[in-house]
Chain A
Amino acid sequence: MAVFRKIAVAALALGGAGAAIFWWLTVPERLAPDMLAALGTGDTGRGQRIFDAGGCASCHARPKSEGDARLQLAGGVELKTQFGTFVAPNISSDPNDGIGAWSLEDFANAMLKGVSREGQHLYPAFPYASYARMKPADVADLYAFLKTLPAVEGRAPDHELGFPFNIRLGLGLWKQLYLSDQPVVAFAEGTPDKVLHGRDLVEGAGHCGECHTPRSLAGGTEKGQWLAGARAAEGDGVVPNITPEGKDISGWSEADIAGYLETGFTPEFDSVGGTMVEVQKNMARLTAADREAIAAYLKAIPPQANGYPAQQPKPAG
C-alpha cells in the first residue's frame, strides 16, 4: 500500500511537472512593457498606408467588396486550408461585434503576439507570424486608422476546424517554433535604406511570405526557402518563386517589379492573375517609393530553387 502511494505521488508529481511545462510552453504570451512603450500614439495617415500594405480589406471586408465597401470590415472571407476553413472576423470599430472596444495594447497583442483581447491564441491564418516583424509604431498607426473606419454590426461565422486544430492552446507550441520579431533576411551593415524599408514591407505588414514561401507540415513558413514559391493554400495552383532565381521574375528589373505592382502588367504585358489581383490593387495604393523599396528588397534577397514540386507530366489522353 505504501509502495502504491509512493508510485501515485511520483506519477502525480511527474504529471504535474509535465502539465507545468505544457502550460509554460503554451500559455499565451503578451507584449513586454518596453514594446508597449514603443507603440507611441499613432498617425491615421500613415496608418492608411499600413492598411493598404497589409491588404487588411482583402480578408476583412465582405467578400467581393469594391469602393467604399472595402472600408466596412465586417469579415466573412473564407480561407479553405488543409487544417479546415478559417473565416476572417469582423474588425470594424463596432464595440460588440468588431474591435471597437479594444485598446491599443489589445490590438498590438493581436498583431505582434497573436493573442486576442480575451487572452486566447489567435490562429495564424491571421498572419501575425509576419506582423510580429512590424515596427511597433506602424502597429499604432494602423490602430489609429482602423479607429476612423465605420462600425459594422454582425459577426462573421466561426472557423470550421477539426481535431486537433480546434484546440487553441496547441498554438502555443506552434508559436515556440514560428513566432519571432527578428527579420528573416539578415543584411550586412551598410545595406541601402531602400532595401531595409522594402524588408519591413515585405516581411512585415505586406506578409508576402505567407503565400510565396513553402510551409512545413505544421504549417509554419520554411525560412530556408524564403519566397521560393509554394503550392497555393487553396486549389491546385502554385504561387510563384519571387527570389532572383524565380523563372517568372528573374529577368525583371527593379522598375519592372515596381511597375507590375503599380499597373498589374508584367514586362511582357501579361496581366496579374489569381489571388495576386487583390494584392496588386492594394500595392497600387502605396507610394512609388514603397513599391521601389519592395522591388529593391526582392532583388537583394538570396536566390532559391522553386519551393514547389515540378509539374507532374500528365498521363496521355
Chain B
Amino acid sequence: MKKIVFAVAALALATTAAFADVIADRQAVMKENAKQVGTLVKMVKGEAPFDAAAVVAALTALNDNVQKIDVAASFPAGSDKGDTTASPKIWEDLAGFQAQVDKFKEVTAAAVASPAADLDALKAQVGTIGQTCGTCHEAFRVKKG
C-alpha cells in the first residue's frame, strides 16, 4: 500500500516538475519572439533607424522560432496549472487554439517571403504581426494576480 502511495506521489511530483519545464520552455519561446518583434517595433516607433538587413534577420529568426511551435508538446492537458498565464480556454477549444497557432505560422512565413523594404511597408507588416499576437492573447491568455 505504501509503495502505491509513494508511486502516486512520485508520479504527481514528476508531472508537476514536467509541467514546470513545459511552462518555462514556452515562456522562453515567447520571450524570444518578443525580442525579434522588438527589433521591428523600435524601427516603427522611430527609436531605431530602418535597416533592411536587420528586418530580414529579425523576421527570419521570428519565423524559425514560430514554425517550431508544437501545440501538443508545449501545451499538454493540465499545464494551465502553475506559474503560467495560459488560459484554460486553450484546452476547452484546442482546435481554435491550434488554428491561431497555424495562422501565426502563416503570417510569419509570409513576412519572411516578402520582408518590408521600407518603413511604411514595415509598419504594415508589424501591424499584421501584432494583430496576430493580440487575437490569440485576447482569447487564450489570462492575467493572474
Residues of A at the B interface (CB closer than 8 Å) are 232, 235-240, 259, 263-265, 268-275, 277-278, 280, 306, 308-311, 314, 316-317
Contacts and interface: CB of A to CB of B under 8 A. Distances in A.
A42 B44 CA distance: 36
Contact of B134 (A259, A269, A277): A277
Given A237-B144, A314-B81, A317-B12, A271 B41 contact: no
Dominant SS among interface residues on chain B:
helix
Contact of B145 (A259, A268, A274, A306): A306
Contact of B130 (A264, A274, A310): A264
A261 to B, nearest CB: 13
B134 A272 contact: yes
Dominant SS among interface residues on chain A:
loop
Contacts of B134: 264, 271-273, 277, 280
Interface of B: 12-13, 15-16, 30, 34-35, 37-38, 41, 44-45, 81-82, 87-88, 126, 130-131, 133-135, 137-138, 141-145
A317 B16 contact: yes
A264 B41 CA distance: 10
9 contacts: A263-B45, A264-B133, A265-B130, A269-B37, A270-B34, A274-B137, A280-B134, A308-B145, A316-B12
Nearest to A275: B138
B35 to A, nearest CB: 7
Contacts of A270: 30, 34
Point out which of A232, A264, A316 has the most chain B C-beta atoms below 10 A from its C-beta: A264
Contacts of A268: 34, 38
